[in-house]
Structure 1
C-alpha cells in the first residue's frame, strides 16, 4: 500500500474515508506507514489493514542438506523406519517445521520447530535438511574427509555461481586423537572437582555439627543420652522374636541349665543389651508356627508385678523357645523345702503372708483382669519365683491353651498339672474353670504354713506314710467341724521362726482351709481371695 504526500491514499484497498476507524477495523492515532505481504499471499499493514491475495497458499519449498549436522532439542516428534521421502513429507506438511534430521540405517526422522544448539562434526550421524522457498538458490555443498598424519581432515567444496571456477574452502583440519585426549582430561577434571567439593562440604557439615553439639552441651551430657538410648531399648525390646542364633549365643550354646520341668528345660543367658534372661526350651509343642506366635502375642501383652515378664520368643523351624526375665532368688520350692537344717533361708511369717497375697493377686489378674482368660493349670511352689525383695512372681502361665470366656474349649480335655496339686475336676470329667488354679493355690498355702509338701505330712502318727492330698483336705475339714481349734498347731511350721507366730496370722489359716475345700463346696474365685486377704491383712498384727 502506498501513501502519497499529505497522507493521501493512492490505493484502491484503502477503506472508505467517510467511515469511522472502528467501522473500518483500523487503529486510531496510527502514524506509521508499514505493511507486509508474506510468501503465502497474506497482507498486513501497521494500521490493521489486512487482505489475502487471490492465489493465497503455501509456495513450493525445497530442502537443503547439511551433512553431519544436528540441532538438539525442539523435536516435534520422532519416528523410525521411515524413508527419506516420508520424513521430508512430514516436515513439508507441518508449517512449524523448519528443519528435520534424518539418519540412515534405522530410518530415524526428527522434525524440529527451531534451529538451536546446532553443530556440524564428522562424527555426527545423519543429515539435517533445512526447509526453504523453492526459488531460493543455495550453492551445492560437497563434503570430503580423509585421514592425515595429524588426524581426520574435512574439506567442503561450495560451488559458486560460476560453475567453471568452483571455490574450495578448507573448513577444518583436526586431530581426533588430540580431541579425545582433551575430552578425557576434561572429564577427569570435572570428576576430581566434584569429589573435592563433596569432601569440603562434608568437612564443613561435621565441623558445624560438632560446634552445635558442644554449644548446646549435648556432648557434655553422656548420661542423658544414655538414658534416652536405654529408654529406646526398653521400648523396642518389650516383646519381640529372637533368632535361634541369638539365643544360642546368649546361653553359650545352652550350657547354663537352671531348671527342668514337664514343659521344657530352662537356661540362664545374657542378651546383647546385657539383660539377664531365663530361656525356656519347650518340648512336645504341636502347634504350627502361626498358632504358636498368635498365642504368644496375647501372652506378651500381659504385665503384672506378680507375673514373670515375657520378653520374647523363638519359633525357627522346630525350635519353640520362650524368653523370660530372670528372677534371682529362684523358686519358692527351693526356699521353702530346702531350708531345713539351717542350710538355707528360712521365711518369716510376714514374708509368707506377703507371698500368699502376691500369688493371689497374680492369679486374680490372670482369671479376671487380662484381655484373655488364662488358666495356669500347674500352680505349685516350683512355678512361684521370688525376686530380690522376696516378692512372688508366677511363671509358666499361658502354657496351657488360652480359653474363651465361656469356658468351652476341648483343648483342656487332657489332664494337666502336677500330682498333689491337681483339682478333682481333672479326674471327675467336670468343666475346667479357674477353680482348678484356686484349688492348687490352697495346697500351696498349706505348704507355705507347714514348710513341707502336703504329700509328706504325717497322718495318724504313722511315720513315712505319704497320703493323698484329698485325704489331707478331708482330714482338715473334719477337724475344723468337730474340734475347738487346737488341731491348727499341726499345720504350722515346726521350725523356729524369729518373727511372729502362726496365731498372729489368722488370714493365712482361714484362707488355707477355705481354698482347699472339697469340690462340693463353693470355691472362691481368685478375685475373692485377694479381697479377703486384704481384709485379713488389715486385721493381722504383722
Structure 2
C-alpha cells in the first residue's frame, strides 16, 4: 500500500532520477574495475572501484572492510557468500578507512600505506626492489608482479595465510596459520606445516604451550601412514581436488572432479578442511583432517575440558572459571590461590572419563591409587593425576582436556581444602594432609545413590544399551550384505572395510561394465591382463584393467590391492579403485591421454629431445619412489616402453607397478615365485635363478634409457657381427664403452638417434648414455640405485643448450 502511494506521488520523477544515478554509478564502478595495476598507479580504500579481478572473474583483490574503520588488503572468492578471504597482506595490522592506499611504486615494489603515510606492508622482503612493471590477479587466485617480459618477480602464492588454493605449491618454508576467530583475521594459534622430520603436521602454538595434535601424536610416523624418508618437503593441491605430499599424505575431495572452486584452510578452530564452492555461493566440507574436533589441542585452553553435547562445548574443571567466555583459547583460571605450603591440606576430586594430553611428571605401572595420590601430593608441581589400569600419570599442567566415554580410568584433580565446590556432588573427594602419609577418602552424597533415581538411571542405561545393540546388528548386516555381493571373498574383513572406506574405493562389476560399454574399447593387453577405456558416472575417463588368471588368487589380489592404495606419485599411474566380484578381478586407473612411450619413440614416430629427457628423469623419479620412499618396497619387475604412459604434457607415468613384487622395508633379498618381465628388458639374475632385488628394475631402466637415446629397439634386435650374431643392446654398450675409453671426439653423436639432426643437449646425452651403461652391468652390485640416478640426471636438468 505504501508502495502504491509513493508511485502515484508527484515525487516520482525525483525517485527515477535517483535510480538512474545509482545505476550509472554502479555501472561506472564496474567499468573501473581493473585487470592490472601499472607501475606508479595506486588505489585507495575510499575508491570503491579500486579492485583487481582475475580474467575469469573468480577472484577479486582489494580492500576488505570489517566494521567502519578496519581494512585489509586481501584476495577473496568473488562469487562466495561474504567474500571468503584466501590471502591477506596485513592480517595483524588493518589500515584506516581514510587515506590508506596500495601502490605499485616506481621501483616495482607493491606498498600498502596507512592514513598517516606509514608503510604497513610491502612486497619486497629485503631492500632489493623487484623492478616490476605491473600487478595482476591470475585465474588461480595468485597475485603476481611481472616485469616487462611477463616474468613473475613476486607472487602471493609464496606467502600463504590460512588457505591453500589449487595449483599453489606448499613447501617447507610455508605455513597455513589460522585466524584468531570468526571475523577476527589476526594470526591465530593453529598451523599446518612441514615439521623438521619432513612430516606434515597440525600444531597448536599458543601463549603457554606448543603441541602437535595431528597426525596422531601417540603413533609413529609409519603407523600414521606417513614417511619421513623424503626430505624434499613439498605438497601439491590440484584442480581435481587431490592433495599429494612428499611425506605420503594423500587425500581427495569427496566431490573430486574439475570445474569446482576449492580451498584448503586451517580454520580458527584448529581443523584442516577442504571446501568446495556450490552453485549458491556457500561452502561444503569435502574432507577434514579430524573427524573429532575435541582432538584439537588447546581448543579449550588451560584447565579446560572439551566435550560433545552433541556439539563441541568447552567447560572448566571444578574450582576453575573461564578467563574469557568469548575466547576459550584463553582457558580457565583457578578460583583459589594455589599454594605449596606443607601445612596445606589438599583433596582430590575424581572426574571420570576425562584425560589431559601430555605434561606427565611421573609414570608408574602396577601401582595402587594410594601410591599415585602420594606421588602427586609430594610433588608441588603436580596439579592432578590420571589413574587407569594400575597405571599412574601425574600431571604438571592441564592442557588439551577431553571428556569421552571411551576414556578409561579417571582424572583426580588436586584442590586445596577447604574449597567451596560449586559443581555436581557426584565426585569422590580424597582429603590429604601433605605433612602426613595417610589419606582419608570421603564419599559425598550422590544423586546416583538415591533409590528412585537409581532405578530411573538403570532404565535409561538399559534402553541405551538396547538401541546400541540394534544399531550394531544393522551395521553388521550391512557389512555382510556388502561383502556377500563379492561372493565369498576371503580377505580379512577389517582390511576390506579400510579399503572401501578410503578414497580408493571398490566398484561393482556392473558399474565397470556400463562404464566401458561392455568392455568395448581395448587400449592394450599384456601378460598381466587387458586394459579397456571407460567413463565413470562422475565423468572421469579411466582405464579398466581386467587381470589375468594369475591374479585371481584371493590372498594375492587383496595383499597387492592394499599396497596400491597407499602409493601415489606424479610419475606413477594413479589407481582409483578395484573390483573383486565373483571371478572378476579388475583395477581402475586414471586414463593417460598420449598412450605409451613406444608409440611415440620408435619409428616411424619421433620424439623431440626435451621430451626424451623429461621422460627419462620422470621414469627415474617414479622408480626411486617405489624403491626408496614407500612404506613397503615395491619392485616393478617389468619396466619397458609399453608400461610408460605419457600425459598431455609428455610427463611419464609408470603403469602396472601395482601388481609387482612387494618387499618389506628393512628386509633382505627375496626370491620371486615366478619369472616376471619382458625378454630383452629382464636382468640376468632372472635367468640365473638368483634372489631378486630392486636392481632388476635398474637394469630394465638402463635398457629403456638407452632406447630413448638411440630411438630404436635395442632389447630385441640381433645384428650380424663378424663371425657371430650379437644382440643390439650388447653391441651398443660395447661400442659406447670403447669410444668413451678411447676419448674419441664427438663420440656421443654416433650413439644418438640420427633423426634428432643435432637438436639435443650434448651434456644431457652423454650423461644418459653413461647412466644407461652403468645400469645394465651384468654384476648387479655395480649398478647404481634409482635415487642416485635421479640425482645424476637432476645435475644436468637445467642444461638447455641444444646443439
Q: Residue 504 of structure 1 contacts residue 541 of structure 1 at CA under 8 Å; is this kept in 2?
A: no
Question: Contact (CA 8 Å) 2:681, 2:715: kept in 1 or not?
Answer: no
Q: What SS class does the counterpart of residue 600 from structure 2 fall into?
A: helix
Write the distance in 2 (CA, Å) between the matches of 1:498 and 1:256.
40
1:340-389 Cα shifts (integer Å, max 9, x gaps): 2xxx4x32211111111111000000000011100000000111111111
* 1:235-250 → structure 2 map (5 Å cutoff): 238-250=503-515
Relative to its length, the structure with more helix (as a share) is: 1
1:238-317 residue pairs with structure 2 within 5 A?
A: 238-286=503-551, 288-317=553-582
Partner of 2:602: 337
| CA distance in structure 1 between the aligned counterparts of 2:780 and 2:638, rounded to whole angstroms | 21
Shift, 1:486, TM fit: 4.7
Match of 2:608 in 1: 348
Tell me, yes or no, if structure 1 residue 363 matches structure 2 residue 623: yes
Counterparts of 1:470 and 1:399, CA distance in 2: 30
Asked if the contact 1:421/1:439 (under 8 Å) is kept, the reply is yes
Q: Secondary structure at the match of 1:320?
A: strand
Instruction: Choose from 702, 712, 727 the match for 1:442.
Output: 702
2:744 is aligned to 484
Tell me, in whole angstroms, the C-alpha distance in 1 between the residues paired with 2:681 and 2:556: 29
> Hey, what does 1:396 align to over in structure 2?
656
What is the CA–CA distance in structure 1 between the aligned matches of 2:551 and 2:673, rounded to whole Å?
16
Match of 2:148 in 1: none
- Of residues 491, 494, 513, the one that matches 2:773 is 513
Q: TM-score, normalised by structure 1?
A: 0.53
SS at match of 2:782: coil
Q: Whose Rg is larger?
A: 1
Pick aligned residue for 1:418 from 667, 671, 678: 678
Q: Pick the aligned partner of 2:644 from 384, 387, 396.
A: 384
5 Å matches for 1:72-83? none
CA deviation after TM superposition for structure 1 residue 540, in Å:
5.8
> How many angstroms does 1:471 deviate by?
5.0
> Does 2:802 correspond to 1:537?
no
State yes or no: 1:409 paired with 2:670: yes
Q: Deviations over 1:94-134 (max 9, x none)?
A: xxxxxxxxxxxxxxxxxxxxxxxxxxxxxxxxxxxxxxxxx
Aligned residue in 2 for 1:432: 692
Residue 476 of structure 1 and its aligned partner are, at CA, apart by 3.5
Structure 2: how far apart are the matches of 1:472 and 1:452?
11
Contact conserved, 2:718 with 2:728, CA < 8 A, in 1? no
Question: Contact conserved, 1:358 with 1:391, CA < 8 A, in 2?
Answer: yes
Q: Using a 3 Å threshold, how does the CA distance of structure 1 residues 442 and 506 change in structure 2: closer, same or farther? A: same
Q: Secondary structure at the match of 2:542?
A: strand
Q: Is the CA contact 2:594–2:647 (under 8 Å) kept in the aligned structure 1?
A: yes
Q: Deviations over 1:198-246 (max 9, x none)?
A: xxxxxxxxxxxxxxxxxxxxxx960756x848779xx977311111111
Partners of 1:361 and 1:536 in 2: CA distance? 15
Q: CA deviation at 1:535?
A: 1.3
Which residue is 1:106 aligned to? none
1:432–1:485 Cα change, 3 Å = farther
The structural deviation recorded for 1:297 is 1.6
What is the match of residue 451 of structure 1? 711
| Match of residue 222, structure 1, among 274, 279, 298 | 279
Q: Deviations over 1:135-172 (max 9, x none)?
A: xxxxxxxxxxxxxxxxxxxxxxxxxxxxxxxxxxxxxx
Per-residue deviation at 1:503? 5.8
Of structures 1 and 2, the one scoring higher in RCO (CA 8 A, sep 6+) is 1
Give the whole-Å Cα distance in 2 for the aligned partners of 1:470 and 1:413. 28
CA–CA distance in structure 2, aligned partners of residues 472 and 506 of structure 1: 14
Residues 222, 379 of structure 1: alpha-carbon distance in 2 compared, 3 angstrom cutoff: same
Q: For residue 323 of structure 1, give the secondary structure of its aligned residue in structure 2.
A: strand
Tell me the distance in 2 between the aligned counterparts of 1:229 and 1:525.
42
- After TM superposition, give the deviation of residue 428 of structure 1 in Å: 1.7
| Residues 273-315 of structure 1 deviation map (CA, whole Å, 9 limit, x = unaligned) | 1100000001123554344223212111111111100000011
SS at match of 2:549: coil
Instruction: Provide Cα deviations, 1:323-342, integer angstroms capped at 9, x if missing partner.
Output: 0000000011111115x2xx
Deviation at 1:504, TM superposition (A): 5.8
Aligned to 1:123: none
SS of match in other structure, 1:420: coil
- Which secondary structure state, in structure 1, belongs to the residue aligned with residue 658 of structure 2? coil
Equivalences, count: 313
- Residues 396-440 of structure 1: CA deviation (Å, up to 9, x unaligned): 003123122324434x14221001101111112222111110110
| Alignment check: 8 A CA contact 2:774 2:782 kept | no
Map of 2:293 onto structure 1 = none
CA distance in 1, matches of 2:610, 2:717: 23
Change (3 A) 1:541 1:506: farther
